Amino acid sequence: MAQTLAHDNAAEASGTSPTPPSLWRNRDFVALLCAETVSQLGSQITLFALPVAAVLVLGADGGQIGLLKTLFTLPYFVLPLAVGVYLDRRPRRGAMMVANAARTLLVFSIPAVAWLHLLTMNQLLVVALLGGFFAVVFDLAYAAYLPSLVGRDRLGAANSLIQTGYSTAFLAGPGIAGLLVNAFGAASALLADALSYLVSFVTIARIRFREPVAERRPRRPFAEAWEGLAALFRIGPIRAVALHAAIYNASFQLIEVAFLVYALNTVGLGPGAFGLVVTVGGVGGLVGALSGARIGRRLGYGPAMVTAALVESLAYPLLPAGHGGRTALLVVFGLTFLIGGAGTGAANVLVATIRQSHTPDELMARVGAGYRMMNAGAVPIGAALGGVLVTALGARTTMWIAPFGLLASVLPLVLTSSFRRLRTLPTG
């Protein structure tokens, strides 16, 4: 479904100073926005085309497809802290360029070898693992680079635009991938992703802004990693959004697993109708991304985040409560994911903005790395629990249980006094 790793894909602080110029007039930010959006579009094509290529070209079975996905996501759980320590010592712009260059070559290797009829499953597994590693490098580098590029007083607006780009890529990517696979074959369709990384590389190379050089200090990799984790839990607003996101992501996996079984097997929606529900959820995410920064300025960032968290949690009891014919259920399902997606889209913007604005510059990559590890670790735990509950209790019962976990994710927000009082964001 659309909201795996919610609050993890990026996401204007109010104040008394004059309104700064529009970000659309910031040439370097527009370049970064285009680079990230094009890269995400290509990634969505690969997420569709890579397993399709494994099945159609190599005859991969379910176990091999599962291994392929596991290897891609494994670096998000294992490597972020090490990458964060490195990025807090090095220019993040250069790291983004290296990551995109590497991903261009990795993805291009698949159609190149396939044209020679030499493609193997082992190559796909290696590309998935290394591609996941460089995806971690790029994601952490761009999130740490953004605050120095736009300034802390523009983080909300910047994250809103970046999240909007991601939502657009999520909506367009699978459809474009399907057309490319039908027209050129699964392996050749991956050329579009390789091209997207190349375009992203060139666009970032054109950025003129150079972030401040990090202060030279003795290398203490383990101590530096611990500093990032300690800051993640020491700073109240960051701790609150990190705990919220981890609990929410784990609980939402119950929805994903149970709804997949319920919609396809119990209700019999069919792949087309199921895909329509996913698309409607993506539309909701786009609406939320566009409105997240505005809601933060109007309500205050703490109350706005609590509101978004409640919206993205309270929608999902509609899934098991829905009844009637196939059309009525399709309407209920679509409405549920539209509302839930809107809440998640707004929350993504608010979470990233709150985290970045409260993180010291010298810890930006390491705190982001610890946050990613919590998110990545929560997903397989929730997915495994969802599988157990669906097997033991049934899909519909699991969908009644999951919203309690989603609502529990709001508790770290409302129980943190500094978060409840959070109206504006620090700008220094």
- If the chain, 428 residues long, is cut into consecutive pieces of 10 residues, what is the mean pLDDT of each piece? 49 44 87 90 80 80 73 81 84 92 94 90 91 90 90 86 85 76 81 91 92 66 79 90 94 88 82 77 89 91 95 94 86 94 93 90 85 83 86 92 96 89 80
The residues near 116 (Cβ < 8 Å, ≥ 6 apart) are none
Q: What is the largest CA-CA distance in the chain?
A: 67
Read off φ and ψ for residue 117, nearest 5 degrees.
60, 35
Rounded CA-CA distance 395/256 in Å is 10
Rounded CA-CA distance 226/232 in Å is 10
Q: Is residue 110 part of a domain?
A: yes
Rounded CA-CA distance 33/307 in Å is 27
Q: Is residue 2 part of a domain?
A: no
Instruction: Tell me what pLDDT residue 260 has.
Output: 82
Q: Is residue 88 part of a domain?
A: yes
Rounded CA-CA distance 339/258 in Å is 19
Instruction: Tell me what pLDDT residue 130 has.
Output: 93
Number of domains in the chain: 1
Instruction: Tell me what pLDDT residue 2 has.
Output: 42
The residues near 405 (Cβ < 8 Å, ≥ 6 apart) are 247, 248, 250, 251, 254
Q: Is residue 345 part of a domain?
A: yes
Q: Is residue 342 part of a domain?
A: yes
Q: Is residue 186 part of a domain?
A: yes
Instruction: Measure Cα distances from 126 to 35, 59, 72, 187, 263 in Å.
Output: 25, 17, 9, 15, 34
Chain Cα centroid distance, residue 316: 20
Under a CB-based contact definition with an 8 Å cutoff, are residues 395 and 266 in contact? yes
Instruction: Tell me what pLDDT residue 4 has.
Output: 43
Instruction: Tell me what pLDDT residue 14 has.
Output: 36
> For residue 180, what are the domain limits?
23-420
Three-state SS annotation for the chain:
CCCCCCCCCCCCCCCCCCCCCCHHHCHHHHHHHHHHHHHHHHHHHHHHHHHHHHHHHHCCCHHHHHHHHHHHHHHHHHCHHHHHHHHCCCCHHHHHHHHHHHHHHHHHHHHHHHHCCCCCHHHHHHHHHHHHHHHHHHHHHHHHHHHHHHCHHHHHHHHHHHHHHHHHHHHHHHHHHHHHHHHHCHHHHCHHHHHHHHHHHHHHHCCCCCCCCCCCCCCCHHHHHHHHHHHHHHCHHHHHHHHHHHHHHHHHHHHHHHHHHHHHHHHCCCHHHHHHHHHHHHHHHHHHHHHHHHHHHHHCHHHHHHHHHHHHHHCCCHHHHCCCCHHHHHHHHHHHHHHHHHHHHHHHHHHHHHHHHHCCHHHHHHHHHHHHHHHHHHHHHHHHHHHHHHHHHCHHHHHHHHHHHHHHCCHHHHCCHHHHCCCCCCCC
Rounded CA-CA distance 367/387 in Å is 31
Q: Is residue 428 part of a domain?
A: no
CATH code where residue 78 lies: 1.20.1250.20
Instruction: Tell me what pLDDT residue 109 has.
Output: 94
Under a CB-based contact definition with an 8 Å cutoff, are residues 245 and 119 in contact? no
Q: Is residue 13 part of a domain?
A: no
Under a CB-based contact definition with an 8 Å cutoff, are residues 6 and 348 in contact? yes
Burial 44-81 (b: 16+ CB within 10 A, else e): bbbbbbbbbbbeebbebeeebbebbeebbbbbbbebbb
